[in-house]
Amino acid sequence: MLKKTLLLSAIAATCCVNAGGQNYPKLGTDPIDEVINAMTLDEKLDMVIGAAGIDTDEKATIGNSSELVPGAAGQTNAIPRLGIPAIIMADGPAGVRIDPTREGTDKTFYCTHFPVATVVSSTWNTELAGQIGQAMGDETSHYGIDVLLAPATNIMRNPLNGRNYEYYSEDPLLAGKISVAVVNGIQSNGVGTSLKHFALNNQETNRTSNNVVGSPRTFREIYLKPFEIVVKETQPWTVMTSYNRINGTMASERADLVTEILRHEWGFNGMVVSDWFGGQYATAQMEAGNDLIMPGKTAQREELKRSIVNGHISMEIIDRNIRHILEFIMRTPTFKGHKADNNPDLKAHALITRNAATEGMVLLKNDGGALPLAGGTRKVAVFGRTSYDFIAGGTGSGNVNHAYVVSLTEGLGNAGLRIDRKVQKAYLDYIPKAKAALDKGKKERDRFLPEKLIDEMELPQDMLDKAAKGNDMAIITIGKTSGESMERNVSDNFNLTPAELKMVEGVCGAFHKAGKKVVVILNVCGPVETETWTSMPDAILCVWLPGQEGGNSVADVLTGKECPSGRLPMTWVKRYADVCNKADFPMPDEISEDLINKALAAFKDKRTEGTVRNFDYTEYNEGVYVGYRYYTTKGVSVAYPFGYGLSYTTFEQGRPEVSVNADGDITVRTTVKNTGGMAGKDVVQVYVSAPGKDMDKPARELKGFAKTRKLAPGETQTVEIKIPYVSLASFNEKDSQWQVESGEYKVMVASDAADMAPMTVTVSEKGRVTERVRPCLLKEMK
């Protein structure tokens, strides 16, 4: 009772501070403690609950709850008397997402649609990733945004995840290092990033309440590792907690995740913000160290106020979180008086996105030198609806309101190629009618859900025969897209549809009969099944979702203006049945309407836990054997392995020189020579095989990589890759510690994760414990 009386007295005192118009302390001028002490209870609630929660929940919509910048994801509350401005946050994994139009002006506010994260990671080029981030941050600054809600560095656990295009890799090192470069690039403009979604947000099905069940070792070695790399190497301004539960408790309500691991172990010094409407109890989020709840709901504000008044949460915790928020605010451009000019250099950024997309394209097949296009190739027949309606990116928060998208046919035309007009006219007549028929009678689609694509057009045999006779070659585009809130279907998204297979078979048959070559372009959101049709075309180029300049970027590679140098950031299996965790991931083809409705209700209501496997809970039974770690260890044959990619030229890598210093750090030096006839870039991949005596270990793990500069024919570059000793450590759950085992380590310079004859050097390491930590992420934490 005494504690409650003292708390109420403190609240009353803060409500009376500086009453009567005295001089109030000001943020940035006076100590933060004085500013916090001067706040009333309502003002403190203003600080920890987003601006959408002041008056009515109706103001808050996912991804659009900012009044200062229309279309921005959200903003904080201002307290003018204390010198605290409202801070603006915008979605941004592929570029700034705001509304292109505003009331009272004819000016448009377009942003550059950059290549999606999968394209960026496929470059294996951290320098290029930094340049993309720098351009993103520049637009963020010009449009008056303080924080870009990006990058998203969750692991691609399963190829069906609807949001994989926003993520970087199935491998934590590649995902982490590319994310570091993006964060540094964005924040070099004096704006912030929000590293997301922390953590274990690896499926979209029932994402707001699904319970991820797994072991601390699995979580720490695979799913937390890219976040750890980014936090330790670059300090993002903010980290966004994820929707899901982790071993029974909401991620944003786990103090062991948000405070113990993120702040105490990794040394994070920024602000922690919830995902929009994430979490279950505001009080638990505050206690866990989730500083700011976005976009804010009246109910959350009321709950927190009751908890404070009734003594269920200490004011010290609220003040701690407010301190983190105020320290963050003081770093922002808005606080420093920056004024938006709304005039970024979109032309310059269009060139950056065009060049970046070319480097992230992966050449999967190139029989008989089908690519680049031969010098005599002038007329091409272009098939596939997506050739004329190119897909720049995914939907939801990863979308961008861009001014245009260059289609493949436009890009080919810009490159000087002539498009078969009869084939083109057939598609241009078909596409709008098919879209109208698809939309007829449909309810308005949630903009966060993936767009449903029209079926492929029937191709009469006489059209194919005439096209084969009158053109130099054929190009087919296969398009697949995905978005938030649901996974990709196996039947028509991971697999090609019957109509798509028929198109590939028909075009290849007609053109090969005429002695002409066929190239397939994969304008896709993730891996697709290729085993049933890969033998048909002469070449396959995976271009992913390459941004608004996509058609020009693809044409640059097809014509040989640019040499492909992308490598796969994930494994492509032969069939979905080969996926390592297929039994422990939602199957969208089997999810009923009732379950979908349940998920929507849970999202809007109390998020009750259920017992439906892979819906209410998902078990990570594969442990650390994610992606190539599984396929290489178990000897499973795949269509295209992690790290795979062809080139128009050839490279020769020299015998690696491997040394170990007194601290156990490994240095790998090797030479790369362009032995072909075209300038290009190569990727050096270094994998390490541990002794595997102390605990079970994968056959090999990526421990370092580097991309060369563009090497002219005959040119050589020496590449040096450092592997820190601590990166060899595995997590011992029993003793809650990171440890390196003693023994012989195989250091392998390989062409990809499945390379059966890598250049290998064996080194000896002494084992020791590298870090002891408190037990975290155990089951049923309350």
Buried b (16+ CB within 10 A) or exposed e, 402-440: beebbbbbbbbbebebebbeebbebbeebbeebeeeeee
Residue partners of 145: CB distance under 8 A and separation at least 6: 69, 72, 88, 89, 90, 96, 98, 191
Q: Which residues contact 611 (CB under 8 A, 6 or more apart)?
A: 617
CA nearest neighbour of 160 among 645, 567, 486: 486
Contact 762, 734 (CB under 8 A): no
Residue 763 to residue 421: CA distance in whole angstroms: 62
DSSP 445: P
At 27, phi and psi to the nearest 5? -60, 130
Give the burial class of 298: count Cβ atoms within 10 A of its Cβ; 0-12 exposed, 13-18 middle, 19 or more buried: middle
Tell me the C-alpha distance between 766 and 67, whole Å: 58
Catalytic residue among 146, 275, 420, 584: 275
Q: How far is CA 217 from the centre of its chain?
A: 23
Contact 319, 36 (CB under 8 A): yes
Determine whether 275 is an active site residue.
Answer: yes
Please give the backbone phi and psi of residue 470, each rounded to the nearest 5 degrees, phi first: -100, 0
How would you class 281 by CB atoms within 10 Å of its CB: exposed for 0-12, middle for 13-18, buried for 19 or more?
middle
95 Rama class: left (phi>0) / alpha (psi -120 to 50) / beta: left
Q: Which residue has the tokens 């601590």?
A: 726
Pairing of strands 418-419, 539-542: unpaired
CA 732 – CA 554 distance, rounded (Å):
46
From CA 198, how far away is CA 188, in angstroms rounded? Answer: 23
For residue 656, which phi and psi values (nearest 5 degrees)?
-70, 145
The sheet with strand 271-274 has its strands ordered as 74-75, 88-91, 147-149, 192-198, 238-241, 271-274
How many CB atoms neighbour CB 395 within 10 A?
Answer: 22
Return the ∠ at Cα 739 (arms to 736 and 744), rounded to 5°. 155
**Up-side HSE of residue 128: CA atoms within 13 Å toward CB?**
28
Q: How far is Cα of residue 779 from the mean position of the Cα atoms in its chain?
A: 27
| Structure-token match 């690519």, residue found | 371
Q: Nearest-CA neighbor of 321 among 232, 243, 238, 236?
A: 238
- DSSP assignment of 472-529 equals SEEEEEEE----TTSPPPIIIIISPPHHHHHHHHHHHHHHHHTT-EEEEEEE-SS---
Distance CA 757, CA 746 (A): 13
Distances (CA, A) of 594 to 82, 590, 599, 687: 50, 11, 9, 45
Coil, helix or strand at residue 245:
strand
Residues labelled catalytic? 275
